[in-house]
């Protein structure tokens, strides 16, 4: 269990948009450092073809050669697990879930038998707070230095105490420009007459409130009751303009039933593979970033193997293969040279630094998150 600890505040500045310390130079410096660290680590032998013996010894007590991995569906390169099994002899059981809320509800009750789960940052912080995750032993994950600085000291888990980021992206707007009269550049696109009754927003409390708060020009992590009530009113009003509140917007967006959706970047990129007309935009007034991160439940039966797997994923080539396969942003800085130029060169996947500044992660609000949860219930039932 971690309350908001004072040490974290200084870390927070790094990503707090409003922080006076934040500017392009600090960013470049951090990036540069992370890159250097990453290359160094890569040079020190992160080659995925090397035999297991080159990897760090991770288990002190003998642990069965088994790893129960619980991840989102189709969120991994086909080769990632077979290569890991071949190299380490650890048998991986790969199961899937489809929603953070359900994952959290299930993990909360405990005893599920999984060794690695991959919650989204907003759920990760809830899990940390609920005390269901174990602290990582970073000595067993030397490749952690391959991570981009942004993910080494992120809001949701400074210093990688509990998690190693898997992939990341942004929360913006997916839309079909051929069916919309007018420009879609910001959240106010929901007001366009041609969009009325053909749009949707996400069925996630923090994401929906972030939409409202960014729109209203307020702090997306506010705890001010007035701001939150305004956001609530905004969302209840928005509810009248949209067709549905849903996180399952992919099919309707592809098929044209919805023409503008509050959406996660990766989902829209996947939809684009089917419907070429679709576009994704990161709203001008700002939006949240998200990341899915690997973590180990407290009661995991094979934590040693879980550490070994995390270290493996952080190898530059393994990380690059993952990203090349699923087309999301990689938190792995050292992997970037091996990632396809079409991905690293895409400003929507790898936003330029000045835009990145407007894309913070959602903050861990502790017990105060109830303020969001309760207002969200009011929005849903209004």
Partner 1 sequence: MSRTLADAPPAPEPVEEPPRARRTLPEWLKANLLLLPTAVWFLALLVIPMLIVIQYSLARRGIIKPVRFSWSNLQWHNYQDALGSRFLRIFLRSIYYSAATTIACVALGFPLAYWIARFTGRLRNIFLVLVIIPFLTSYLIRMYAWQFILQRDGLLNDTLGALHLGNHHVFLNTSFAVILGLTYGFLPFMVLPLYASIERMDPSLVEASYDLGHGKVSTFFRVIVPTVAPGLVAGTLLVFIPATGDFVTPELLGGVKTQMFGNTIQDQFGSGQNWPLGSAMAVVLMAFILIGVYVYLRRVGEDAL
Partner 2 sequence: MSRSKSALRPRYLKLHALLVYAFLFAPIIVLVVFSFNEARSGTTFTKFSTKWYDDLIHNEDALRAFRTTLKVAIVATLVATLLGTLAAFALTRFQFRGRSAYSTLVFISLVIPEVVLGIALLAFFVQFAHMKLGLRTVILSHITFCIAFVVVVVKARLSSFDNRLVEAAADLGATPVQSFLRVVLPLAAPGIAAGAMLAFMISLDDVVITFFTAGPGANTLPLYIFGQLRVGVSPRINALSSFVLAFSLIALGIGAAFSARAAKRGRGGIDATALG
Give the single-character DSSP code of 67: E
Q: Are 245 and 203 spatial neighbours (Cβ–Cβ below 8 Å)?
A: yes
Query: For residues 126 and 123, what is the distance between their CA atoms, to the nearest angstrom?
Result: 5
Query: For residues 379 and 382, what is the distance between their CA atoms, to the nearest angstrom?
Result: 5
At which residue do the structure tokens 């013996």 appear? 53
* Among the residue ranges 15-23, 94-102, 271-279, 329-337, the one whose residues contact partner 1 (CB under 8 A): 94-102
Measured from the CB of residue 108, what is the shortest distance to partner 2 in angstroms? Answer: 9
Query: For residues 38 and 46, what is the distance between their CA atoms, to the nearest angstrom?
Result: 10
Q: Indicate whether 110 belongs to the interface with partner 2 (CB under 8 A).
A: yes
- Strands (E) located in 46-162: 66-72, 91-97, 116-117, 153-154, 157-158
Among 32, 131, 255, 345, binds partner 2 (CB under 8 A): 255
Of partner 1, partner 2, none, which one does residue 98 interact with (CB within 5 to 8 Å by kind)? partner 2
Q: Indicate whether 191 belongs to the interface with partner 1 (CB under 8 A).
A: no
* Among the residue ranges 98-106, 164-172, 315-323, 360-368, the one whose residues contact partner 2 (CB under 8 A): 98-106
CB atoms within 10 A of CB 111: 9
* Among the residue ranges 150-158, 159-167, 200-208, 355-363, the one whose residues contact partner 1 (CB under 8 A): 200-208
Q: Indicate whether 252 belongs to the interface with partner 1 (CB under 8 A).
A: yes
Of partner 2, partner 1, none, which one does residue 175 interact with (CB within 5 to 8 Å by kind)? none
Backbone φ, ψ for residue 150 (5° rounding): -55, -30
Please give the C-alpha separations between residue 161 and each of 15, 100, 128, 138, 262, in angstroms, as whole numbers: 18, 20, 10, 8, 31
Nearer to partner 1, 354 or 374 (CB): 374
Please give the residues from 232 up to 251 whose contact with partner 2 meets the rule CB under 8 A: 248, 250-251
Among 10, 19, 54, 96, binds partner 2 (CB under 8 A): 96
Q: Indicate whether 53 belongs to the interface with partner 2 (CB under 8 A).
A: no
Q: Are 329 and 322 spatial neighbours (Cβ–Cβ below 8 Å)?
A: no
**β-strand pairing of 163-175 with 279-281:** antiparallel
Query: For residues 38 and 333, what is the distance between their CA atoms, to the nearest angstrom?
Result: 6
Measured from the CB of residue 158, what is the shortest distance to partner 2 in angstroms? Answer: 29
Site for partner 1 (CB under 8 A): how many residues? 39
DSSP sequence for 162-183: SEEEEEEEEEEEEE-GGG-SS-
Backbone φ, ψ for residue 89 (5° rounding): 75, 10
Site for partner 2 (CB under 8 A): how many residues? 33
Token digits of residue 283: 């709203």
Of partner 2, partner 1, none, which one does residue 222 interact with (CB within 5 to 8 Å by kind)? none
Nearer to partner 2, 116 or 335 (CB): 116
Backbone φ, ψ for residue 13 (5° rounding): -55, -35
Q: Are 208 and 372 spatial neighbours (Cβ–Cβ below 8 Å)?
A: no
Measured from the CB of residue 205, what is the shortest distance to partner 1 in angstroms? Answer: 4
Please give the residues from 256 up to 275 whose contact with partner 2 meets the rule CB under 8 A: 256, 267, 270-271, 273-275
DSSP sequence for 20-49: TT--HHHHHHHHHHHHHHHHHHHHTT--TT
Of partner 1, partner 2, none, which one does residue 298 interact with (CB within 5 to 8 Å by kind)? none
Measured from the CB of residue 378, what is the shortest distance to partner 1 in angstroms? Answer: 7
- What is the contact surface with partner 2 in residues (CB under 8 A)? 68, 70, 72-74, 93-99, 102, 105-106, 109-114, 248, 250-251, 254-256, 267, 270-271, 273-275
Binding site for partner 1 (CB under 8 A): 1, 99, 101-102, 104-105, 108, 126, 129-131, 203-205, 239-240, 242-246, 248, 251-252, 255-257, 366-367, 369-370, 373-374, 376-378, 380-382
């Amino acid at each position: 269990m971690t309350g908001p600890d004072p040490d974290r505040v200084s870390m927070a500045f790094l990503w707090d948009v409003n922080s006076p310390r934040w500017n392009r130079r600090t960013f470049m410096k951090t990036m540069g450092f992370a890159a250097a660290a990453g290359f160094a680590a890569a040079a020190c032998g992160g080659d995925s073809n090397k035999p297991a013996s080159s990897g760090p010894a991770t288990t002190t007590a003998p642990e069965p050669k088994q790893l129960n991995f619980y991840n989102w569906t189709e969120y991994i390169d086909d080769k990632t697990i077979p290569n890991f099994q071949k190299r380490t002899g650890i048998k991986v059981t790969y199961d899937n879930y489809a929603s953070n809320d359900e994952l959290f509800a299930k993990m909360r009750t405990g005893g599920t038998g999984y060794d690695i789960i991959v919650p989204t940052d907003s759920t990760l912080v809830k899990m940390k707070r609920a005390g269901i995750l174990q602290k990582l032993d970073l000595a067993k994950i030397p490749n952690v230095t391959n991570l981009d600085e942004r993910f080494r000291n992120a809001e949701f888990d400074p210093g990688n105490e509990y998690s190693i980021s898997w992939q990341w992206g942004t929360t913006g707007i997916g839309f079909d420009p051929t069916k919309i009269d007018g420009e879609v550049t910001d959240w106010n696109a929901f007001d366009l007459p041609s969009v009325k009754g053909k749009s949707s927003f996400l069925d996630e409390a923090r994401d929906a409130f972030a939409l409202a708060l960014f729109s209203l020009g307020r702090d997306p992590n506010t705890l001010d009751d007035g701001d939150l009530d305004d956001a609530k009113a905004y969302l209840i009003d928005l509810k009248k303009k949209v067709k549905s509140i849903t996180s399952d917007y992919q099919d309707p967006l592809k098929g044209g039933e919805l023409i503008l959706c509050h959406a996660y970047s990766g989902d829209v990129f996947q939809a684009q593979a089917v419907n070429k007309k679709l576009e994704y935009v990161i709203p001008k007034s700002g939006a949240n970033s998200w990341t899915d991160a690997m973590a180990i439940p407290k009661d995991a039966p094979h934590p040693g193997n879980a550490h070994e797997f995390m270290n493996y994923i952080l190898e530059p080539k393994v990380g690059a293969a993952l990203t090349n396969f699923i087309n999301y942003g990689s938190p792995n800085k050292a992997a970037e040279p091996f990632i396809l130029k079409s991905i690293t060169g895409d400003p929507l996947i790898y936003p330029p630094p000045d835009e990145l500044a407007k894309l913070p992660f959602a903050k861990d609000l502790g017990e105060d998150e109830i303020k969001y949860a309760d207002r969200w219930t009011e929005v849903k039932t209004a």
